[in-house]
Amino acid sequence: MKIYRARHGGFCFGVKRAIKLALEAADNSHGVCSLGPLIHNRLAVDDLMKSGIRSCDEIRGLKKNEIVIIRSHGVAPDVMQRLRSKNCQIIDATCPRVRRAQRYVEKLAGEGYHVVIVGEKDHPEVKGLLGYAGKRASIYNDNERPGKKKIGVVPQTTLNQERFNRAVTDLMPDTIEMKIYNTICQETAVRINEAVKIAKKADIMIVIGGKNSANTTRLYQICRKLRRSYHIESAGELKRSWFSAVKSVGITAGASTPKQQVDDVVRKIRRMFPRS
Amino acid sequence: MKIYRARHGGFCFGVKRAIKLALEAADNSHGVCSLGPLIHNRLAVDDLMKSGIRSCDEIRGLKKNEIVIIRSHGVAPDVMQRLRSKNCQIIDATCPRVRRAQRYVEKLAGEGYHVVIVGEKDHPEVKGLLGYAGKRASIYNDNERPGKKKIGVVPQTTLNQERFNRAVTDLMPDTIEMKIYNTICQETAVRINEAVKIAKKADIMIVIGGKNSANTTRLYQICRKLRRSYHIESAGELKRSWFSAVKSVGITAGASTPKQQVDDVVRKIRRMFPRS
């Protein structure tokens, strides 16, 4: 069995940084809490728990004065405000690229633009970005136009460039002035491009990452258009039947997938097909 | 012979206005001169000559103190300056929509953007727009990127929206900040959409207008993708052989085509097929 393993699969820069900051904080205290899972990967969250990093979805679930980690997706300014009034000690692990996008949203709103965020409407990063625009904002929806002549456009950092392009050209005819900050993170594009290259040459694709991870799911959806593909969270889900008449397998992983999980999958496939 | 005649074919708002201003000026003087042909239509230019409006391509061809018409395409500010130093009396018939685009180009350059004009590089409107950006500008070229992180984008007013969209999405990945003024004139879009509708139902298309008119040529190119099409300047060019086995004909005209020329073509076709 020939294995093509993506070099650009697994933790991205922002996630690595957030985990490092959280682990450092946990080391220096009796435990910290991240506001929402630090990464969208169930197994990795379990591991973090063992290192003293619990996760809590709601501010009201936090203790007073607790050390709180803001994860790489960032949060809206009102969330920061509420944490401060609860006297929480804040470790801000917002990805610097997301932070930059937040500042652009704030700037556009300040300059009088109606801000349109292009991204997944329930994604925490998008909710956070939206908060920086105050009331002058909406999330892009291809069925509904904002109806404003002067709009500012900012994409979710992990958005696919093609999807962003479609949104921009779709919004264009209704506007006179459009100011765009292209905050798409190139790491996502590099990961996707590499996955596409591998999917074109491998017989099947395995995409590893949380079922609740938006970027892993997107990676899987792109791969399945090119090759028979499987989205798994761990090596335990691999099935021998998938590999019938298969000579090569491509492996990639989402931005929130720990290297360990990818290693496990590769090892298991090697064990399943020891002589090939 | 069924004839579908476009309602939105012929002189656009800007051209009508320029001719009106030129005729008024000619009426009140012993003759005026337009800097370049007032419209890209040989026959109409001949008619204008009879009304005392001559055309001259170069500033050095103008007499001192002469009354000069700036045509609807507009000119660069340095051209205005040279006319003023020649003591010419200037009648500025720049289309108000082009004037607005010029102001946007000037504003973008003033705000520090590298300005990219999307349009035909030898078109007089594009040359004029470019002049408003000083040295911080280039014409969009799909083989070459401006290599700037902060760009301002303005289309030629008669550009096709699809072509503008392609340019914007093509420029996007290299930029961080892009400010777009969508100065595309809806009259052009309406004219094209109507021509497309007619081309879909007629057996052949006749597109009337100067062979040197960019917008007529574009209209013809769009029509010929859908139907057998002919670009003619006058009724005299119509050929009986085109209509063999043809039951219906669509007729449209560029923004610089006088109504008279369209009437002539319709009349001639009716005479060619009197009983059908």
Å between A200 CA and nearest CA of chain B? 24
In a mutagenesis test of the B interface, which of A157, A161, A178, A190 is the best target, namely the one with the most B β-carbons within 10 Å?
A178
Residue A138 scores a pLDDT above 80: yes
Å between A45 CA and nearest CA of chain B? 34
Tokens describing residue B113 = 């953007």
Å between B162 CA and nearest CA of chain A? 8
In total, the C-beta contacts within 8 angstroms joining chain A to chain B are: 52
Q: Which residues contact A25 (CB under 8 A, 6 or more apart)?
A: A32, A67, A69, A91
DSSP letters spanning B92-141? E---HHHHHHHHHHHHHHHTTPEEEEES-TT-HHHHHHHHTTTTSEEE-B
Which residue out of B106, B111, B120, B125 is catalytically annotated? B125
Which positions of chain B have pLDDT values less than 70?
A: 276
Residue A236 scores a pLDDT above 90: yes
Å between A162 CA and nearest CA of chain B? 8
Dist CA A17 CA A27 (whole Å): 15
Residues in B closer than 8 angstroms to A164, CB to CB, are 172
In a mutagenesis test of the B interface, which of A148, A163, A177 is the best target, namely the one with the most B β-carbons within 10 Å?
A177
* Structural domains of chain B sorted by starting position, each given as residue range(s) with its CATH number in brackets: 2-9+187-272 (3.40.1010.20), 13-95 (3.40.50.11270), 97-184 (3.40.1010.20)
Q: Dump pLDDT digits (tens) for A153-190.
A: 999 998 988 899 999 999 998 899 999 999 999 888 89
pLDDT at site A9: 81
Of B161, B178, B181, the CB nearest to A173: B161
pLDDT at site B215: 85
Is A172 within 8 Å of B178 when comparing Cβ atoms?
Answer: no
Active site residue B125: yes
The residues facing B178 across adjacent strands are A180, B151
Is B177 within 8 Å of A173 when comparing Cβ atoms?
Answer: no
Q: Which residues contact B56 (CB under 8 A, 6 or more apart)?
A: B33, B34, B35, B36, B62
pLDDT at site A45: 83
Predicted confidence band of residue A63 (pLDDT cuts 50, 70, 90): confident
Residue A212 has phi, psi (to 5 degrees) of -95, 10
Dist CA A36 CA A22 (whole Å): 13
Å between A256 CA and nearest CA of chain B? 24
Angle at the Cα of B125 (from B123 to B127), degrees rounded to 5?
70
DSSP letters spanning chain A? -EEEE-TT-S--HHHHHHHHHHHHHHHTSS-EEEES-SSS-HHHHHHHHHTTEEEESSGGGSPTT-EEEE-TT---HHHHHHHHHTTPEEEE---HHHHHHHHHHHHHHHTTPEEEEES-TT-HHHHHHHHTTTTSEEE-BTTB----SEEEEEE-TT--HHHHHHHHHHHGGG-SEEEEE----HHHHHHHHHHHHHHHHSSEEEEES-TT-HHHHHHHHHHHHHSEEEEESSGGG--GGGGTT--EEEEEE-TT--HHHHHHHHHHHHHHSTT-
pLDDT at site A276: 62
Helix A124-131 × helix A96-110 angle, to 10°:
40
Residues in B closer than 8 angstroms to A181, CB to CB, are 176-177
Residue A149 CA to chain centroid, in angstroms?
31
Residue A129 scores a pLDDT above 70: yes
pLDDT at site B104: 98
Q: Dump pLDDT digits (tens) for A24-36.
A: 999 988 889 999 9
Q: Is B267 exposed, middle or buried (0-12, 13-18, 19+ CB in 10 A)?
A: exposed
Tokens describing residue A266 = 């590769």
pLDDT at site B182: 95
Of A172, A178, A182, the CB nearest to B176: A182
pLDDT at site B276: 62
Residues in B closer than 8 angstroms to A165, CB to CB, are 168-169, 172
Which residue out of A24, A106, A120, A125 is catalytically annotated? A125
Tokens describing residue B156 = 């030629």
Q: Which residues contact B263 (CB under 8 A, 6 or more apart)?
A: none
Q: Which residues contact B224 (CB under 8 A, 6 or more apart)?
A: B205
Dist CA B5 CA B191 (whole Å): 12
Q: In this structure, what DSSP letter does residue B181 have?
A: E
Of A165, A177, A179, the CB nearest to B172: A165
The DSSP bridge pattern shows strands B89-92 and B137-139 to be unpaired
- Quickly list H helices, chain B: 13-27, 42-50, 77-85, 96-110, 124-131, 161-171, 186-201, 214-226, 259-272
pLDDT at site B1: 92
Model pTM score: 0.82
Q: Dump pLDDT digits (tens) for B15-27.
A: 999 999 999 999 9
Residue B25 has phi, psi (to 5 degrees) of -65, -40
What is the sign of the dihedral through the CA atoms of B117, B109, B143 and A178?
Answer: negative
Closest CA to B4 of B194, B219, B151: B194
Interface of B with A (CB under 8 A): 161, 164-165, 168-169, 172-173, 175-183
